[in-house]
A and B are shown apart, each in its own frame.
Chain A
Amino acid sequence: MKSVNKDKIIRFGLLLVILLSGVAMIPFVDLPVGAIGWESLAGVYAPELTVNETSGAPGSTFAFTGSGYPPNSLATVYVNGEASGSVRTDGGGSATFKINTIGVAPGPLNVTLEVDINASATQSIDLVESGSPVTPPEGFDGPTFFAGHPVFLPVFFH
């Protein structure tokens, strides 16, 4: 009798373990929340460059994020067609960098991140005299490049 009960308990326990094993993985799994749509899949066909704000006062620092680029590739950052620096894309084809607009006159700027002709994306930003200063979001990581050509003069104190 006791052995029969023991068998039942073992079988019932095994049943619960099998049934709930997937549920037990919840703390270890990233639960997806985003909608499944063409926007989330478009990167496979064209890289994208986004910026935290599309307009700000001259002197602002804008945070750019590139996605959908060839992975582990060297990408050059251009501002209005002139090279400002380079970043390396990660294994997922993404890269981040900042553009500092100190010394740049108000007006539009075209910022391009390009690996090659077919892996290139441009994002426009607008420097507006009356605009608010823009800073990168907290924790945003990436090298800083200058849109203008600021000259830093050393100052000596006697």
Chain B
Amino acid sequence: MVVHLFGYRQSRQRLELWQRLVASIDWFALVAFCLPLLIYTLTLAPTIYNLDSAELTTAVASNGIVRATGYPLYLLLGKIWSWLPVGDMGYRMNLFSAFCGAATILLLDRILRRLKIMPWVRLGALGLLATAPYFWALSLIAEVYTLHTLLMAGIILLLMRWAEAPGPGRLAAPIFLAVLSMGNHAATILLLPGLIFYIVASHPRELLKRRVWIAGILAATAGAIIFLVLPLRYASGPLFNYAGQFNAAGDFVPVNLMSFDGFWWLVTGKSFAGQMFGYSSHELLSQAKAFGQELWVAFFAIGIGPGILGLVVLLRRHWRLGGLFLLLFLANVIFYIDYRVVDKATMFLPAYLIWAIWLGVGYQTLIYWLVRTMPHANLKPLAYGVLVTMVLLALAWNWSRVDLSDDWSTRQQSEEILQEVQPNALVFGWWDTVPGLQYMQLVEGQRPDVTVINRFLIGGDDMNRLILSQLGRRPIYINNPSIELLRVAKVTPSGSLYHLAPNENWSGDQR
């Protein structure tokens, strides 16, 4: 009987321990992270994806260098993440984006808690963000955007923490993270106006303290160390390098990242300067309308009115925070509306992040109004039900638009090309062709005999001269032959490329 009593007491202690553990778990935070992660994992691209995704994945795997602005933080974190023993390298890097997307939602949950937003309201607002088409789509492929939103949410959270109890250490944290974030995406610079405003508006006297400046400078310096990744990688002579150019002889001339000029050229994105502020004044209205439409789609129509309400309420009640969020939103929107690239719909995630915060505030305000209007009717559960239903509808509506779980197209295309091309071939293509091929070669060891050149890395004249010098000497393939080549070469479709061989006009003098 004593033994039985002892056993009963042990089980009871274990049960109590278990109950305490369960009670200590923040279930809403767990849901805020795990639910998006589950959805993203179910719709994740199963292997290497195309365009920038293939470039980033190959660079992570091969310790290579990517195009401007270098993305050293992404390369370093991606390398650590890539050691996970799941799937192939492409899958792992896609999963990294899913993790960052889910972690962004978790940090936003924390931000909304500080704004005293109720749990079901947070679910309603963050659920629409998590299921917004482009936020969801970019959480499914190797890309820098969800890491950028994660860092942005982290900076906001650390700054709010500093504002509650200012001190040098507490200000140093967001400064460190902001500079580190520049190592992932140079668009972090668009956060500066809002961050500076908030610091100056919240505790201007802090800026008179020497300790604060010393801590800030040290923090910025520590964050900037991430950029050392670039010259170190350059020094190792990586096989995969997108910071440089091929010449007419087919030799790759890398930009010297150990020189200040070369390093500055890469990290400041000078090669993309032509696209910035690329629209004329009469084109800007249509671009602004296009963004408005994307925002409307992202928040499933229902999130527009409450989002605007949240913006107004926050400005009235907490003008410093309201000003911070407004400046963060405007800086990103104004810059990207005037950025002339076709894929800029993928670049508004920071704006959507801010809108989700406004949406949470707006939803809460509406519920308070509802309760005050009809205090005797218990309408809160109904209101929460409407918010959750909207999220479920958005999930169902957008699922088929973003689901990549069965997308093997990049792998298939790349493997078909490598099977098709003859030995010792020279292959020219753009971003939709070459990065996938390079992944197959450098990460999976397929067809190392084939030379693959991204036309982004070679001038048109140099490419033509290189092709003419090699025509008839080795098999040449290109995605789109220019007119000059069409006149001297026999052009035969070969899968998704064209095979070039000398034609009857070819005399060899053209070399």
Contacts and interface: CB of A to CB of B under 8 A. Distances in A.
A38 to B, nearest CB: 4
Interface stretch (B101-109, B216-224, B364-372): B364-372
Instruction: Specify the main secondary structure of chain B where it touches its partner.
Output: helix
A42 B431 contact: yes
A31 B404 CA distance: 21
Contacts of A155: none
Given A36-B134, A118-B455, A122-B491, A29 B296 contact: yes
Given A41-B343, A120-B480, A122-B486, A18 B431 contact: no
Contact of A46 (B302, B306, B431): B431
B432 interface: yes
Interface in A14-73: 14-15, 17-23, 25-26, 29-39, 41-47, 68
A120 B431 CA distance: 15
Given A21-B305, A25-B304, A81-B487, A120 B482 contact: yes
Contact of A19 (B366, B432, B481): B366
A44 to B, nearest CB: 4
A134 interface: no
Contacts of A132: none
Interface stretch (A98-106, A108-116, A136-144, A146-154): A108-116
5 contacts: A15-B369, A22-B303, A44-B343, A45-B51, A120-B483
A124 interface: yes
A117 B461 contact: yes
A55 B286 CA distance: 38
Nearest to B367: A15
Contact of B305 (A11, A18, A38, A80): A18
**Interface SS, A side:** mixed
Interface residues of B, number: 60
A22 B455 contact: no
B82 interface: no
Contacts of A87: none
Interface of B: 49-51, 53, 133-134, 137, 283, 293, 296-297, 299-306, 308-309, 341-343, 346, 362, 366, 369-370, 372-374, 400-402, 404, 407, 409-410, 429-432, 455-456, 460-461, 463-464, 479-484, 486-487, 491, 493, 498
The 10 closest A-B pairs by CB, nearest first: A117-B460, A22-B304, A46-B430, A21-B305, A45-B431, A44-B342, A38-B50, A22-B301, A42-B432, A81-B486
B301 A112 contact: no
Contact of A45 (B309, B432, B460): B432
A109 to B, nearest CB: 11
A126 to B, nearest CB: 10
Contacts of B308: 18
Contacts of B404: 37
Contacts of B369: 11-12, 14-15
Contacts of B401: 32-36
B342 A68 contact: yes
Contacts of B297: 29, 31-32
Contact of A11 (B293, B303, B373): B373
Contacts of B487: 81
Contacts of B483: 76, 78, 81, 112, 114, 120
B133 A122 contact: no
Contacts of B49: 38
A45 B457 CA distance: 12
Nearest to A48: B480
Contact of A35 (B304, B309, B362, B400): B400
A122 B498 contact: yes
Nearest to A26: B301
A91 interface: yes
Contact of B306 (A19, A26, A78): A19
A33 B366 CA distance: 31
A22 B456 contact: no
Contact of B372 (A11, A41, A112): A11
A30 B297 CA distance: 10
Given A45-B51, A81-B483, 11 more contacts: A8-B374, A19-B305, A23-B301, A25-B301, A26-B301, A32-B401, A36-B401, A38-B410, A80-B486, A117-B482, A120-B483
Nearest to B133: A36
Max chain B C-beta neighbours (<10 A), residue from A21, A38, A46, A120: A38
A95 interface: no
A121 interface: yes
B298 to A, nearest CB: 11
Given A22-B296, A30-B293, A81-B486, A41 B301 contact: no
A8 B366 contact: no
A22 B283 CA distance: 25
Contacts of B296: 22, 25, 29
B347 to A, nearest CB: 12
A21 B309 CA distance: 11
